Structure 1
Amino acid sequence: MRPAFSTAVDVEQALREAADPREKAKIRGRVADDEPVIGVRMGTLFDLAKRATDLPGAELDALFEHPAYEPRLAAFCVLDFRARRKLSDDERAGLARTYLDRHDAISTWDMVDRAAPRVLGMPILAGAVDGGVLDDLARSADPLRRRSAITAPLWFVKKGSDADVERGLAIADSLAEDTHPRVRSAVKIYRAHAAKRQANAG
């Protein structure tokens, strides 16, 4: 078993050691022109992020604040890996708060998709976080926050009641006329998962 990382510098160094110019070219196509990219295959990045799951708070903060795409994605992966553990409601609420407080670090749709269902959707479903936060996100001027609003409820489809799924569909309806492609695609994804669940239940 590979040793765990204890600092953000360790994580960044490992990411840079795993850099591949071919991956950099692929990633460059989905990030802003001025966003630094290291070029790390997603499977490799997830493996490295898993070794960073227990990073101290200040070190995780350093990843969130990093200018490059991969360290910030790794930070959101860390939140997701932490959310997979057996946690108290307070601990889950804390992860959700971190996700929301650090939402400005999200620059691509895949950061949302990696973390939002477990990190935000799970504690909302458990009642540890007020579900009204989804409505707030859905009204945001930031399309990636709006994507969070409809991606987090994917956890409702997986683990919630029929009423919970309907809560997500209400968010989808509120975003039905959204003009941003990353929001429209997320609405389509949620509706497809909800329809599949409803069909299977029938």
Structure 2
Amino acid sequence: MHLLLESALHEDRLAGLLVLVSQFERASASGTRDDDLRTRLHLFYLDAVHRGRVDNWDLVDSTAEYLVGGYLLDRPIDLLLQLAASESLWERRVAMIATFGFLKVGDSGPTLTVATRLLPDQHDLIQKAVGWMLREVGKRVSREDLVTFLDANAPLMGRTALSYATEHLDPAERARYRAMPRMTREAMG
């Protein structure tokens, strides 16, 4: 895996990361769970992210929910908040996409927390990730959680995030959120 992740070829790094995910899933299997291996794989992944070896949206999107989100399911989410505050685009995206692991087990809390932190981020890849995970809150966990979040935050959201988040709402509701005037946090007091 080390050689694959050090490759200049995107496809090599993707292959190495998918092997890492597979190893993590095997180490996470009930009955044969290996917490030491899970920790080593998680830390190996974080090191690769920090070193810039996970440097494309598809690399993040196919790995973060497992190697960060899956790892943190029974732990505090402080790491997600640290990643969300990073100057690195890829670390911020890892923070948001990692919350998919929580959504898959019915917990929208981490997604809503990280999304709130990333609302001011105007990078298109962060906007898309925030909107996608919020949409998944409504689809997988609770439409009420999504609507409550949108009622409080839609005026603060970028158009891309709002568009993705409201994609599965009925047309009238979607139009209502999209028609809300844009505001900054400072303007809201």
- Shared fold by TM > 0.5? yes
- Pair 1:156 & 2:102 matched: yes
**Structure 2 equivalent of residue 121 of structure 1:** 69
Secondary structure of the residue aligned to 2:135 is helix
Q: Is the CA contact (8 Å cut-off) linking 1:89 and 1:126 kept in structure 2?
A: no
In 2: Cα distance, 1:83 partner to 1:77 partner: 10
Q: Is the CA contact (8 Å cut-off) linking 1:89 and 1:123 kept in structure 2?
A: no
- Pair 1:182 & 2:125 matched: yes
TM-score norm. by structure 1 comes to 0.64
- Pair 1:199 & 2:143 matched: yes
- Code of the aligned partner of 2:59: M
- Pair 1:107 & 2:55 matched: yes
In 1: Cα distance, 2:7 partner to 2:48 partner: 12
- Code of the aligned partner of 2:2: D
Q: Is the CA contact (8 Å cut-off) linking 1:96 and 1:123 kept in structure 2?
A: yes
Structure 1 segments, 4+ long, off by >3 Å, are none
Residues 47-102 of structure 1 show CA distances to partners (whole Å, capped at 9, x for unaligned) of: xxxxxxxxxxxxx1111111111101111111111122123222222211111001
Secondary structure of the residue aligned to 1:84 is helix
Residues 76-133 of structure 1 show CA distances to partners (whole Å, capped at 9, x for unaligned) of: 1111111221232222222111110011101210000111001110110033xx5211
**Structure 2 equivalent of residue 68 of structure 1:** 9
RMSD: 1.6
TM-score norm. by structure 2 comes to 0.68
Equivalenced residue count is: 137
CA positional deviation for 1:199: 2.8
| Equivalent position to 1:143, from 86, 89, 101 | 89
Residues 145-180 of structure 1 show CA distances to partners (whole Å, capped at 9, x for unaligned) of: 10000000101010144xxx1122110011012111
In 2: Cα distance, 1:122 partner to 1:75 partner: 18
Secondary structure of the residue aligned to 1:140 is coil
In 2: Cα distance, 1:101 partner to 1:190 partner: 24
Q: Is the CA contact (8 Å cut-off) linking 1:64 and 1:71 kept in structure 2?
A: yes
In 2: Cα distance, 1:168 partner to 1:97 partner: 22
| Equivalent position to 1:97, from 43, 50, 56 | 43
Secondary structure of the residue aligned to 1:105 is coil
Distance change in 2, residues 1:126/1:91 (3 Å):
farther
- Code of the aligned partner of 1:100: L
